[in-house]
Structure 1
Amino acid sequence: MAEWRRPPITVADFVATVLIYTVACLAAWTLAGLVPDYRTLFPPDADTRYLPLAYAVAWLGIGLTLLIIPLWMIHAIRLRRRAWTTAIVAFPLLAEAWVLGLLTAIVAVPP
């Protein structure tokens, strides 16, 4: 079977990848700032001793997303594929991490 020729990554692809990842980092910073707002879901007299667990889940998910996406982008570049499509994956992963932390807060804190 013939090997398909893969063209090198263009400058436009590289710029788009860096720009998308930078916007993803800004979105992650914003979402990480919204994590403490989980506290507003519960009344002031609620038992919130397990709320830091929800914070940890959300922040860990956000941090792992920001660490894994560049590895996937480097892998795509080494395979001579467009890396900006991989960088876009950061946005649903960030949203998923925040929602997972929110669900953890809802489940962990008794009513």
Structure 2
Amino acid sequence: MAKKQTNRTSKHQRRDKEEEFVQIDIFKVPAPQAEMYSVLREAVAEETLEIWRTEFAKAERVSDNPEEGEAIVAYDADGVEQARLYLNPSNISQAQKARDKDQLAKFLENQY
């Protein structure tokens, strides 16, 4: 008699699925996209720093919110925060689309 097939997943199958993700900052990214996401994330972060350092007194990477993850933050001359871009997958995707159109600076204006 053939063994009845069920929709249940074994612990081994669940563990394999969990291993298919890579932790980047606080986010789990599918392993096949992790390397490209990491490259794009760094490119967006560096270009954002470059742009904001010309517009504000100071811009830096910070990890001050464990629920949101790493961000790029811009400050005025008095040290008051003026803009923040969280480096989460959604923002990276939107920022990369803007970069592709040479419009990252315009995209970043919406972060003020």
State the TM-score, normalized to the length of structure 2: 0.31
Q: Which has the higher helix share?
A: 1
Larger Rg: 2
Kindly indicate whether structure 1 or structure 2 has the higher relative contact order, using CA contacts under 8 Å at least 6 residues apart: 1
TM-score, normalization by structure 1: 0.31
Q: Which has the higher strand share?
A: 2
